[in-house]
Structure 1
Amino acid sequence: MPAPFSAGGRPLGPPRVPTGALLGGVLRFLSLALLLPWVAGSTLNCHKTCICASNIVSCSKMNLTSIPTSLPNYTAVLDLSYNSISRLRAEWTTVKMVKLHNLLLSHNGMNFISSEAFVYVTQLRYLDLSSNSLRQLDELIFEPLKELEVLLLYNNHISQIDRSAFSGLGNLQKLYLSQNQVSRFPLELVKEKTRLKNLSLLDVSSNRVKVLPVQELKVLPAWIKNGLYFHNNPFACDCELYNMLAHWHIRRLSSAVDFKDDYTCVLPGAQKTTVPVFDLNGSHMNCSTVKAADEETYLDQTLVLSCDTRHRDMHKTWVMPGNVLVAPGINRSAVVLADGSLEISKVRAEDSGVYTCFAVSEALNETVYVTVKVNNFTLSGGGETLNTAYTTLVGCLASVILVLIYLYLTPCRCFCCPGHSKAKSQQEDSIHSSVLSATPTHEDLATKAGLSRHVAFIDPKDLQGQNGKLNPDGEEDRDRDQEGRRERGQRKKSDADSISSVCSDTPIVV
């Protein structure tokens, strides 16, 4: 090809390139050549980009945007923290890494995790995803990690957690969800029949939880409550919340003791004042002061005392009041059950007192005190006593009602009815003698008459001239015959006088 000519006919040489521009281009090319393999997924280099110490591979703070390929299959600990790995894809490793048990991916700005990201690392026991930009946890995302024991998810932006996100984590012991945007307490993780059976620590502190399932949390074993952290949440102030935390503090549970000052709540009202939960027994809401609860039972009942320790799987020994050790064959009424509880059958009054449970493990010792109060009556006996008292009260009320009916609701007197006056006079005489014979007025007369004599009242007219005394001439029998004839002949005449005789206090012995 002929060389180009200038306007004057002279040939031109090759175009000149400035030396500075040429040097800059070469440098940019070299830098891209060095960075491109890491962007696309470079092969692990244990001499320049990572530090390999036996089975530990540390690639922390290397400005990585993806995970290096060709990781050795003997890797047990892989540290990829403080990089720029924003997405954890399914193909980050294509071979099974059966010896990998620690994976650290914190401080990467990660916002996406594939549902198949952990298919080839099923032996993980420690996974650190803290301080990233995760916003949600999808269903069954951690299901392949059957051996996982510790999962760190704190300091993210998690606001949505699928109820099955942690399904399959049968060996999970510690779950850290603090410093997120969680608004619902994950009760299913700790509740009976749905909980992760080995979970001993759940941290949901510093989130947006406003309501706690207090009643469900109260019945949890102490070893779960000891590791249940939910401080620094915008709870609404409530005496139930105070009572629960106060009981936990009395039991010296770590979750209530270590962060006592960090449990706060919002008082009702427009001002939304935040106060410490443990101050609600003062002027804020005047909640009742909490004291240690005692066990109360009745005679002949069966009582089971729980040795509810703060730690799991401890050997438990019981000592009864009077420093009596509970051992097989020593006390037949008290037996230590398989779960460490103490069963007392047919409780007696002398079983009252303080019971002590000594719990021992390889790491620590713990002592639990249980105070028992035995009521001095059986549960069924108390019911019979109540029924007897009720029956007696009803009987008394019925008697009072009958007396009132007799006194105030008797039929009206009918003086004009034929035969009524005679019957009425006989009835009144009978009533007067029966009523007044029981209460004689003059003791000297009653004493002279004897126990078998009857007392009756006579008309004051018949006693004129005697001043109410007995006939001194011994004419008592004759007067009585005359009175009987007069009574038979003049019954109607004496009716009016019989009324006044009721009010007389002068008895006569007949």
Structure 2
Amino acid sequence: MLCALGVAAPLMLSSLVLHLARAALHPGCLKVSDILSCSNLGLEQVPKQLPATAATLDFNHNHLVRLEEGSFAGLPHLVTLRLAHNQLSDLSPGTFRNTSSLRHLDLSSNQLYKVDNFYFQELAGMEELLLFNNHIVRVESNALISLVNLRKAYLSHNRLTDFPFFSIQEHSHPFLVTLDLSSNRMPKLPLEDIAALPVSVQSGLFLHNNSLICECAMYVMFKRWEQKGFNSVKDYREEHTCLVYGEPRASVQFLEHTRFFENCSIKLPGLLVDIESTLQVYAGESALLECQTSLKGRHLTYQWVSPHQEFIAPPGNNNTMRMYANGSLEILAARVEDSGVYWCMVLDRQQSRNETREVNVTVIMRHHEVEPFNTGFTTLLGCVVSLVLVLMYLYLTPCRCWCRKQAPPATPSPANECSAQSSILTPTPPATTEGPGRKMCQSSLTVSNPPLIPDIWTTVSSKQ
């Protein structure tokens, strides 16, 4: 009896905890496997008890005003947290404590007015951060410094007048490929800080729809990005505007209408200088891209970024590209769609240094040589041409006899002779009732219309 009670007690306790957890959740919450959705329920605070197995929490479209310290602690499997369309204006210190597994955080469409240094310091594994459509006026200099695995950050549609680009230099964010700062209020850009960003960050830096003042240095930077085919410029070409002399009503699409910058030099010393090499390869052939670097040592790590924003690390993607230990990247069978700018990033973690190099690859199609004519076809063609020329000679050569004035009939020749000038070759021998031994000679030919037969005269004789 005691043994039975000892076994049943833990089960009863577990059931009680589960019952209490379910009771703490809003009845409208929906739990499916490791997903808990409590969206659009009018919640004013996050439930105290959350299922420990949750990997995705969805609290979008509620009335959350504040997040308490440790609101999501005790969730070791939490990967995605959605808090969009709430009324959050600030985050308490320790809000994301013990949530190091978090990879995707959505705080968009709230009322945040700043991004403080302590907001995300516990989220070293964060990969995607959504902060767009808030009221953010300032991002502190160290607000993103702890997000070493950050790949994408969205801060568009806010009220930013500047951004600490210097905080994401060199090796601090080696995986960052998208930084969206569009639709803010930045009048000027720190061009030198932007030029120091890795090329992989520059290519994904969205700055359109800001309040930029028109100036040559700014124009040169965007024009160069356009020439390189960066999607941040190519996909939003018409949205890149600037204010002439800073006048709000004098906005110009500077990539569409370039006459305001005709006197700007495309080459500005010290600005946006990088090392770039070019490589041409025929389709179907292999190509080896060298990652040239001045860094030395055994602690170097290499990584490539393809034109399609695909990260490539040793041993490669096992399908179309192979990467070697020395940093070289081999395109196994080049395709036309493999063309574009490849970035090689070299990182020396021991000395906290890194370098970025570009290789512009162009894949071209090989033109196939025209095969020579087949001998039989050549012979047939020669026969056809010869036949056409003969027919042209027979039927298109002008006659020389009908257009001349006819001479009076001459004395007939002996019966066994025919004059070459009075005989004509006819296609079929004329019918005759003459007996054997008689010779036919046509002495004259009367033509009423221009002849359709050639001017070929010959002697026709018939022998028994």
Give the 5 Å matches for 1:339-488. Answer: 339-340=327-328, 365-368=338-341
Identify if the C-alpha distance between structure 1 residues 315 and 197 changes in structure 2 by more than 3 Å, giving closer, same or farther. Answer: closer
Q: CA deviation at 1:68?
A: 1.4
Identify if the C-alpha distance between structure 1 residues 69 and 216 changes in structure 2 by more than 3 Å, giving closer, same or farther. Answer: closer
Identify if the C-alpha distance between structure 1 residues 339 and 221 changes in structure 2 by more than 3 Å, giving closer, same or farther. Answer: farther
Cα distance in 2, alignment partners of residues 359 and 227 from structure 1: 27
Q: CA deviation at 1:191?
A: 2.2
Q: CA deviation at 1:279?
A: 4.0
CA RMSD of aligned residues (A): 3.7
Cα distance in 1, alignment partners of residues 291 and 78 from structure 2: 46
Match of 1:165 in 2: 143
**2:226 alignment partner, SS class:** helix
Q: CA-to-partner distance for each residue in 1:86-109, whole Å, 9 max, x for gaps? A: 10111534x511001111001111
Equivalent AA in structure 2 for residue 111 of structure 1: S
Match of 2:231 in 1: 254
Q: CA-to-partner distance for each residue in 1:254-276, whole Å, 9 max, x for gaps? A: 11101111110011166751101
Q: Does 1:286 align with 2:262?
A: yes
Cα distance in 1, alignment partners of residues 100 and 34 from structure 2: 17
Q: Does 1:117 align with 2:90?
A: no
Equivalent AA in structure 2 for residue 214 of structure 1: L
Q: Does 1:225 align with 2:198?
A: no
Match of 1:507 in 2: none
Does structure 1 retain, via aligned residues, the 8 Å contact 2:183–2:209?
yes
Identify if the C-alpha distance between structure 1 residues 65 and 204 changes in structure 2 by more than 3 Å, giving closer, same or farther. Answer: same
**1:112 alignment partner, SS class:** coil
Does structure 2 retain, via aligned residues, the 8 Å contact 1:222–1:308?
no
**1:244 alignment partner, SS class:** helix
Q: CA deviation at 1:126?
A: 0.5
Q: Does 1:53 align with 2:29?
A: no
Q: CA deviation at 1:309?
A: 5.3
Does structure 1 retain, via aligned residues, the 8 Å contact 2:105–2:129?
yes
Match of 2:79 in 1: 101
Q: CA deviation at 1:211?
A: 1.1
**2:255 alignment partner, SS class:** helix
Q: CA-to-partner distance for each residue in 1:276-324, whole Å, 9 max, x for gaps? A: 1214531x23245869x99999xxxxx99799854464489xxxxxxxx
Identify if the C-alpha distance between structure 1 residues 188 and 43 changes in structure 2 by more than 3 Å, giving closer, same or farther. Answer: farther
Match of 1:349 in 2: none
Cα distance in 1, alignment partners of residues 189 and 223 from structure 2: 15
Cα distance in 1, alignment partners of residues 59 and 147 from structure 2: 23
Q: Does 1:196 align with 2:173?
A: yes
Identify if the C-alpha distance between structure 1 residues 64 and 295 changes in structure 2 by more than 3 Å, giving closer, same or farther. Answer: closer
Does structure 2 retain, via aligned residues, the 8 Å contact 1:127–1:151?
yes
Equivalent AA in structure 1 for residue 338 of structure 2: N
Q: Does 1:275 align with 2:248?
A: no
Q: How many residues align?
A: 286
Does structure 2 retain, via aligned residues, the 8 Å contact 1:281–1:287?
no
Does structure 1 retain, via aligned residues, the 8 Å contact 2:81–2:104?
yes
**2:238 alignment partner, SS class:** helix
Does structure 2 retain, via aligned residues, the 8 Å contact 1:90–1:118?
yes
Q: Does 1:179 align with 2:157?
A: yes
Identify if the C-alpha distance between structure 1 residues 156 and 55 changes in structure 2 by more than 3 Å, giving closer, same or farther. Answer: same
Does structure 1 retain, via aligned residues, the 8 Å contact 2:305–2:311?
no
Does structure 2 retain, via aligned residues, the 8 Å contact 1:222–1:309?
no
Q: Does 1:205 align with 2:182?
A: yes
Does structure 2 retain, via aligned residues, the 8 Å contact 1:223–1:312?
no
Q: CA deviation at 1:172?
A: 1.0
Q: CA-to-partner distance for each residue in 1:368-401, whole Å, 9 max, x for gaps? A: 4769xxxxxxxxxxxxxxxxxxxxxxxxxxxxxx
Q: CA-to-partner distance for each residue in 1:317-375, whole Å, 9 max, x for gaps? A: xxxxxxxxxxxxxxxxxxx994449xxxxxxxxxxxxxxx96999xx83444769xxxx
Identify if the C-alpha distance between structure 1 residues 308 and 80 changes in structure 2 by more than 3 Å, giving closer, same or farther. Answer: closer
Q: Does 1:129 align with 2:107?
A: yes
Equivalent AA in structure 1 for residue 194 of structure 2: L
Q: Which runs of 5+ in 2 are unaligned?
A: 1-20, 268-272, 278-289, 294-303, 315-323, 342-358, 362-464
Identify if the C-alpha distance between structure 1 residues 315 and 86 changes in structure 2 by more than 3 Å, giving closer, same or farther. Answer: closer
Cα distance in 2, alignment partners of residues 147 and 43 from structure 1: 32
Q: CA deviation at 1:60?
A: 0.3
Cα distance in 1, alignment partners of residues 333 and 209 from structure 2: 33
Does structure 2 retain, via aligned residues, the 8 Å contact 1:69–1:92?
yes
Q: CA-to-partner distance for each residue in 1:39-73, whole Å, 9 max, x for gaps? A: xx994447x32001011000000111111122110
Answer 1 or 2: which has greater helix percent.
1
Match of 2:43 in 1: 64
Q: Does 1:80 align with 2:59?
A: yes
Cα distance in 2, alignment partners of residues 102 and 269 from structure 1: 42
Which of 244-253 and 211-220 deviates more?
211-220
* TM, length-normalised to structure 2: 0.55
Q: CA deviation at 1:249?
A: 1.3
Cα distance in 1, alignment partners of residues 158 and 138 from structure 2: 10
Cα distance in 2, alignment partners of residues 305 and 186 from structure 1: 29
Cα distance in 1, alignment partners of residues 291 and 147 from structure 2: 33
Cα distance in 2, alignment partners of residues 274 and 104 from structure 1: 37
Q: CA-to-partner distance for each residue in 1:173-198, whole Å, 9 max, x for gaps? A: 111111111111221243225x4222
* TM, length-normalised to structure 1: 0.50
Identify if the C-alpha distance between structure 1 residues 288 and 76 changes in structure 2 by more than 3 Å, giving closer, same or farther. Answer: same
Equivalent AA in structure 2 for residue 365 of structure 1: D
Q: Which runs of 5+ in 1 are unaligned?
A: 1-40, 298-302, 317-335, 342-356, 372-510
**2:153 alignment partner, SS class:** strand
Answer 1 or 2: higher relative contact order, Cα 8 Å, separation at least 6.
2
**1:61 alignment partner, SS class:** coil
Identify if the C-alpha distance between structure 1 residues 267 and 175 changes in structure 2 by more than 3 Å, giving closer, same or farther. Answer: same
Match of 2:385 in 1: none
